[in-house]
Amino acid sequence: MLFKKKKKRVCVIGLDGVPHSLLVRLAESGIMPAAAELIRHGHLHRMKASLPEISAVSWTDFMTGLDSGNHGIFGFTDLKPRSYELRFPNFRDVKAETFWDALGRQGRTSIVVNQPSTYPARPIPGSLVSGFVALELAKAVSPPSHRAALEKMGYQVDIDTLRARQDASFFWSELDKTFEGSLRALDYFWKQEWDFFEFVVTGTDRLHHFHWTALEDESHPFHRRALDYYRRVDTLIGDVARRLDGAGRKNSALFLLSDHGFTGIEQEVSLNAWLEQQGFLEFAPGAERDLRAVTSRSRAFALDPNRIHFNRRDRFPEGSVGEADSDVLKAELRSSLSKLECRGRKVVRRVFDAAEIYHGPFAGLGPDLVVLAEPGFDMKGSARKKDVFGRTPGLEGMHTWDDAVFLAPEECGTDLKISDLASILLMRYNNL
């Protein structure tokens, strides 16, 4: 009698914005027993996110196994060629294949649900449901034949973040609604044929941005609700682990990861306001404060959140910086930023040269410097702000760089960064 060989299955649960430190605390305190069980039997890595430490770049690093210099995504916004005008890159702008494509060449099928930075959805060897920033479900599903089922089950990609910031009751209601819809989507896609399954929870990031204090302060009116949300996330983790165990441990593997860490905001830091105060940036008199008003007297400007571009003659209409000026300008900016303080606290942790971060054919399209702040100081690239320090009402949490999570069945090395994970996951199929 011939027995059918069991399918090798790998599953990834993405927990957007969950820091290593928080996952450890919730696992040890009994809030997340399923995660604690995986940690006991596996290895929890503290991992570095992308630079800048934002979802648009980190998730693209993850799915391509490359940095921005090779895949071409440097942020949620970028600049049009030879212009100061902003554009919004999307999945079509990713200039490298994903590891789902690589799995497809091996004859393996992937199902990817709620993956950020994949809008509009394009065909992969399997099925893809785009995560944020997905503008409409119609363009967020590939193949489109899944769309009707998702609409029927009440699936929605994300909450209305602008309204949620201002209305706490709306936030909690939408957080629950989105989570319930995503669970129905998980059940629906789990029944399809697949070799690789990825499911991303975005609500964790939303909870941290708007109600980080609720997780930190036991007396906070939403403390119990915040912990209950994590209990529900843990139930999901346990459910997926049991489903995989049903296929046999030797033929399956479960991974957890986050795209960056999180911490509370002490102050927001407007880089363009600082550059202007220090004499590196000038706007045309009387013009609206906008990068399109940058003058030729400017030597540098910032893009959100912490990318500093030199106003180069070979890149920008009002460019004034030549290649021979770059090293001096870098030294000036690094020296000045190292002295930046707020209420006696050091603001900047490190200033990265582009050559330290980006490699590959598109590296020259990125910023010249990336400013990594000390925890608590949230870098912003708006050109409209005139004050260096301030706070946005309704925002409590900020991203961190080297406190991301990667939970694997075994140790996968030290000093991991998120772009390392694609090769780890591909290798996993050879070891099952």
Residues 184 and 294 in one domain: no
Q: Do 64 and 139 belong together in one domain?
A: yes
Domain that holds residue 311: 267-390
The whole-angstrom separation of Cα 374 and Cα 132 is: 27
* CATH assignment at residue 172: 3.40.720.10
For residue 2, the model assigns a pLDDT of 40
Q: Is 180 in the same domain as 50?
A: yes
Determine the pLDDT at residue 369. 98
The answer to the question of residue 4 being in a domain is: no
- Average the pLDDT over 91-119 and give the result: 97
Q: What is the mean pLDDT of residues 204-223?
A: 98
Same domain, 191 and 320: no
Residues 253, 273: one domain? no
Give yes or no for residue 285 having a pLDDT over 50: yes
What is the Cα–Cα distance from 23 to 208, expressed in whole angstroms? Answer: 13
pLDDT band at residue 7, thresholds of 50, 70 and 90?
confident
Q: What is the pLDDT of residue 316?
A: 97
Asked if residue 326 belongs to a domain, the reply is yes
CA distance linking residue 294 with residue 253, whole number of Å: 52
Strands (E), 234-384: 252-257, 261-264, 267-270, 300-303, 307-310, 341-342, 345-346, 348-353, 369-373, 377-380
Q: Are 162 and 301 part of one and the same domain?
A: no
Q: CA dihedral defined by 400, 406, 407, 412, rounded to 10 degrees? A: -140
Q: Are residues 151 and 220 in the same domain?
A: yes
How crowded is the C-beta side of 41, counted as CA atoms within 13 Å? 10
- 184 part of a folded domain: yes
Q: Do 243 and 285 sit in the same domain of this protein?
A: no
CATH number of the domain residue 338 falls in: 3.30.1360
182 within domain boundaries: yes
Q: Are residues 30 and 140 in the same domain?
A: yes
Q: Which of 215, 210, 251 is nearest to 233 (CA)?
A: 215
The per-residue pLDDT for 247 is 55
In a domain, 74, yes or no: yes
Question: Do both 131 and 250 map to the same domain?
Answer: yes
Q: Average pLDDT of 312-320?
A: 97
Q: How far apart are CA 121 and CA 89, in angstroms?
A: 13
SS3 (DSSP) at 365: helix
Amino acid at 119: Y
Q: Which residues contact 425 (CB under 8 A, 6 or more apart)?
A: 10, 12, 99, 196, 255
DSSP string for 325-361: GHHHHHHHHHHHHHT-EETTEE-EEEEEEHHHH--ST
> Are residues 367 and 249 part of one domain?
no
Q: Which two tokens stand for residue 96?
A: 């490298």
The verdict on 333 and 316 lying in the same domain is yes
Cβ contacts of residue 328 below 8 Å, gap of 6+? none
pTM, rounded to two decimals: 0.95
How many structural domains does the chain have? 2
